[in-house]
Structure 1
């Protein structure tokens, strides 16, 4: 049973409800302060995942090559288009709050959908749980997502809770794919995979606190290429060194 996925989906669903019910009582200072803490927590989770890496050179290759692939394929743009399509579907059932202009509401909704359904941390955590059953990353992310959903729910209303539905579908699909990949991996490959995911979480942390807007969506392919690069490095390059 994907405990991490269930926990993450429930965190967003109930966080959106809590935010919608208590939003008027939350000051902007509180929202901004919590957002900064989300960023530092994401970076701490990333550093924790990077530390046990096995092949630093392979990880560096994967980060550069994977990010290059994402940028060349305009993956970030494609993800935003997909989120926009989800937003249009959801907006059929829920109207923008009176305090929001329609365009601003739609843009904010796209941002929230990408954050919850296609973030690097979520994809990394789901693949990790699917491969070895470790739900730690997703459970930790769920804590952050709950409070993020509260803040977004305070601004956007109950519509934030509905994002839990597409998120459940996307993360479950990734979980099942990871089950197929895991038999092809080795323990060292898993450590390198976790390190790449950790780098993505550090980059996400910088984005959250608006220090540097790393192209995290375009960086997602590095979690795919790290497996073959790590295998090639250990089997063909290391024996020559």
Structure 2
């Protein structure tokens, strides 16, 4: 079953959210310290990804700048916030606390990364679930901590994870190995790593960054690399 890895990941996120929600109330000072600790780990993961493709640093800079311009013009963050607040209204009878921040932060953290793409491609191409199984363990633990800090909105991130990874797995299953190439994976990994660093900075309270408005960079980077590669081989 080529969607098994994605389904396990979704279940892990929901299970981690449930654990984080039912845990005894964590003192504010302890919660803040734990959140900063998680933020530092997120930044470390993002940096390791961002530095994995230094050969394409100029291309990545170009993609991030142009992606930021495109994201601001498209107002992607506003779309995210409208969706998040709509979900808040739907769940108001069950939970009256903030949902939007947890949903947005968790969605970006769980979806922006090489493990999501590589794992979903392996899932679709070969029925190999190992990468997504490993990701599900990381996402489950992250969901516990994020839920204790940001609330149960973290669990709603399971929906975009299911759609995002499921679509990649389905496309890979139907159309072969187009996505399973360094031309695609490397620039997405490096660019996604920078976005994860931005998420970590937000979790640490260092700076408010419009991460959703940077998402077009993850599309521009592999497209630009494929075009450059094609031109260089003419």
Q: Same fold (TM over 0.5)?
A: yes
- Please name the residue that 2:89 is paired with: 88
Identify the match of residue 120 of structure 2 among 123, 130, 138.
Answer: 130
| TM-score under structure 2 length normalisation | 0.80
Maintained 8 Å contact 1:79/1:114: yes
**2:144, 2:31 → 1: CA distance?**
13
Please tell me whether the aligned partners of residues 58 and 233 of structure 1 are also in contact (alpha carbons under 8 angstroms): no
State yes or no: 1:78 paired with 2:68: no
Q: Distance in 1 between matches of 2:49 and 2:220?
A: 18
CA distance in 2, matches of 1:138, 1:22: 20
Give secondary structure in 1 for the equivalent of 2:205. coil
Query: Structure 1 16/71 Cα, relative in aligned 2: closer, same or farther at 3 Å?
Result: same
Tell me the alpha carbon deviations over residues 70-119 of structure 1, each in whole angstroms, 9 at most, x when there is no partner. Answer: 11111001110011111211224x152xxxxxxxx3xx211112222x31
Partner of 1:172: 162
CA deviation map 1:35-58 (0-9, x unaligned): 101111111111221232142222
Question: Do the aligned partners of residues 95 and 192 (structure 1) sit closer, same or farther apart at CA in structure 2, a change above 3 Å counting?
Answer: closer
Which of 77, 96, 102 lines up with 1:112 in the alignment?
A: 102
1:216 aligns to 2:205 (yes or no):
no
The aligned residue for residue 59 of structure 2 is 58
Residues 80 and 104, structure 2, Cα contact 8 Å, conserved in 1? yes
Q: Distance in 2 between matches of 1:231 and 1:177?
A: 21
Structure 1, unaligned stretches of length 5 or more?
97-104, 154-159
Please tell me whether residue 193 in structure 1 is matched to residue 191 in structure 2: no
Distance 1:223 1:62 in 2: 8
Rounded Cα–Cα distance in structure 2 between residues aligned with 1:212 and 1:71:
18
- 8 A Cα contact 1:63 1:219, kept in partner: yes
Question: Normalised by the size of structure 1, how large is the TM-score?
Answer: 0.77
Computed over aligned residues only, the root mean square deviation of the Cα atoms, in angstroms, reads 2.7
Unaligned runs of 5+ residues in structure 2 are: 124-130
Q: Does 1:204 align with 2:179?
A: no
Distance 2:8 2:60 in 1: 29
Report the equivalent of 1:184.
178
Aligned to 1:40: 40
Question: Residues 99 and 154 of structure 2 are in contact (CA less than 8 Å); yes or no, is this contact kept in structure 1?
Answer: no
